[in-house]
Amino acid sequence: MATDSALHQRRRSLTAAELDAIPWMRLLAPHERERAVGDLKIADAIPGEYICRTGRPVTYWFGVVDGLLKMSSDNAEGQTMTFTGIPPGGWFGEGTALKRETYRYNIQALRKSMVAGLHVDTFHWLLDHSIGFNRFVMNQLNERLGQFIAAREIDRMTNPDIRVARSLAALFNPVLYPGVGEVLRITQQELAYLVGLSRQRVNEALTALAGQDSIRVEYGGLRVLNLAALRSSGSAPPAALPLD
């Protein structure tokens, strides 16, 4: 929703149902909610469209009401590194908004997505006036730190099945992405983009995880059956205690 993008031109106010899908709205006092509702905008992002670009100044704090986004960056050689996907319920960029910096990453729509934006000035106003909003943002920052530590670990993994399992676990994070629930609407090709593997290899990994009863592949998405197993996939078992 940057001011020089077509996305910004398509912005509109949110409906009551769309406001109900925003997890932090219920934490606000009536006068805080009134301020936020008056400022929030939403727009439909088409596949491939950028919501944020590296080097652009922050103007909004963004959230996904529906769809799927990808967070990535390009290195000096032109290679793209994908950090994570952002499914429904996910709000992102609070660190950049807090410091009013330029973006250090790109956010791009993998499919048609509904993206909401709260202006950075209202974001700071809520930080100054709302305890509930502060707690939400602090929880976001804490979870995000853990997410990126885990992402670095995933990058070092050579086992594709483990990469897919850990990446799926990140997308099912109930704190960062409360709109996902137990079913994530994602195609194998979209997951392949996020994990950095071929669609065929992702299919093989999903088949293996389904065989372990960790997930169930459903029409148009994936249902998580054992989130703990996905998160711990590839972890070394605890060492056995020595016997006297």
HEC string of 93-154 equals CHHHHHHCCECCCEEEECCCEEEEEEEHHHHHHHHHHCHHHHHHHHHHHHHHHHHHHHHHHH
Residue 151's pLDDT band (boundaries 50, 70, 90)? low
Domain with CATH 2.60.120.10 in the chain: 6-152
pLDDT value, residue 231: 87
pLDDT value, residue 80: 76
Q: What is this structure's pTM? A: 0.84
**Secondary structure letter of residue 186 according to DSSP:** -
Q: Are 40 and 25 in contact (CB under 8 A)?
A: no
Overall CATH class of domain 6-152: mainly beta
Q: Average model confidence (pLDDT) for the chain?
A: 88
pLDDT in tens, 137-148: 999 999 888 877
Residue 83's pLDDT band (boundaries 50, 70, 90)? confident
Helix (H) / strand (E) containing 223: strand 221-224
Strand partners, 91: 63
Domain with CATH 1.10.10.10 in the chain: 158-232
CATH architecture assigned to 158-232: Orthogonal Bundle (1.10)
